[in-house]
Structure 1
């Protein structure tokens, strides 16, 4: 089966391409550095020729509100049109648990717009909602740092390993379109501050981590369960402590 992975040279995309190839599929990475640009349409028709499945794990280079909305609207519109022309029979997109609950955030509004375009396209689809990745723990902490203090929301988070995200997206891609959302999450829910505190401690980072009720997450104020998956989520195996040990 030919599977084209949009964003196929990034963190998730490169792992996904590798996993699909291991299972005997023709997995083709598509990104600006391979000559495929979903914003301009360059290379799309050629790379989609003969593809049964397209997986979109691309991301906006800018998280500024207008720029991220323009990225997802333009990229998704161009991609879906090219897929329709090429006869693609399954569109898979990676999105985020809680997208529909975090509309204060320009980034999450843009992801929601992406999902709405996919649902309206007429192409059979599956949307994978994943929780936050272990790998982004430090970036979240850095963005929330004032002086020597990291101020994070007083909410829960159920993060997961990027390898497990890629595996879940791969399983979805080679399966039957669900024409809906599949949720995937890590095996443990943490208080947000405890997740960051454990991660920083493993790196001997001395910053103090504080939970604050009105601290924002990508521009949104969180309820306690805003970032948690529902009861039908597929639960990945890799625990945060095991991942941290691998990093040492």
Structure 2
């Protein structure tokens, strides 16, 4: 079975390619680095020729609301049209837990628009929604920083290792299309501010974390469960944050 991974040279895409190859699948990584551009359509037809499955783990380089909306809608339309022309029978896309609950988050709303296009399309699909990655924790802290103070809302947080996300996406790619959504999350629930503080200490980062109920997450004020799946609804991954943190430190 030929599987094309769009975004296959990025953080998640590279891991998905590796995991599928371990399963013995015929995998083609596709990205602008390999001459495939989903925004212009360049190289798509050639890359998808003979493919049964397409995995979309692309990401926008800009988080500016209009730019990210344009990226995901244009890229997805072009990809779905190319898949239909090529006879692809399964479209797998990576998305994010809780995207409907933050209407003032431009990135999340762009992912909502992407999911809507996929659901309205003719290609059978599987959506894999994941919580935030361990690998993004430092970046999250940096965006919440005001000088030496990092303001983080004391809400629930259930991050997941990128390697576990890739495993969930690879698994979806070799299974029957869900024509629906599955969610994956890390094995542990944390308080957002406490996890950020633990990570900064492990990295010898001297900044002080303050639990601020009005602290913003990429511009959004969070409710208690904005970033976590409903109880019992997600498949839980195996990698614990403490173990990942120890290795990363």
| TM band (smaller chain) | over 0.9
Which contiguous aligned blocks of 4+ residues in structure 1 show a shift greater than 6 angstroms? none
Q: Distance in 1 between matches of 2:142 and 2:81?
A: 38
Matched, 1:137 2:173: no
Match of 1:192 in 2: 192
Q: Distance in 1 between matches of 2:108 and 2:242?
A: 28
Q: Distance in 2 between matches of 1:69 and 1:17?
A: 26
Match of 1:242 in 2: 243
Match of 1:43 in 2: 43
State TM-score, norm by structure 1: 0.99
Q: Secondary structure, in 3 states, of the residue corresponding to 2:141?
A: helix
Q: Distance in 2 between matches of 1:114 and 1:138?
A: 27
Q: Distance in 2 between matches of 1:2 and 1:199?
A: 40
Match of 1:9 in 2: 9
Does structure 1 conserve the Cα–Cα contact (< 8 Å) formed by 2:143 and 2:218? no
1:170: how far off?
Answer: 0.4
Q: Distance in 2 between matches of 1:3 and 1:59?
A: 19
- Name stretches of at least 5 consecutive residues in structure 1 with no aligned partner: none
- Name stretches of at least 5 consecutive residues in structure 2 with no aligned partner: none
1:154: how far off?
Answer: 2.4
Match of 1:165 in 2: 165
Q: Distance in 2 between matches of 1:154 and 1:214?
A: 9
Aligned residues: 248
Q: Secondary structure, in 3 states, of the residue corresponding to 1:28?
A: strand
Post-superposition Cα deviations, 1:28-75, rounded to whole Å, max 9, x if no partner, equal 111001000000000000000011110000000100011000000100
1:232: how far off?
Answer: 2.1
Post-superposition Cα deviations, 1:147-191, rounded to whole Å, max 9, x if no partner, equal 100011221110010000000000011101111110000000110
| 1:147-186 equivalences in 2 (<5 Å) | 147-186=147-186
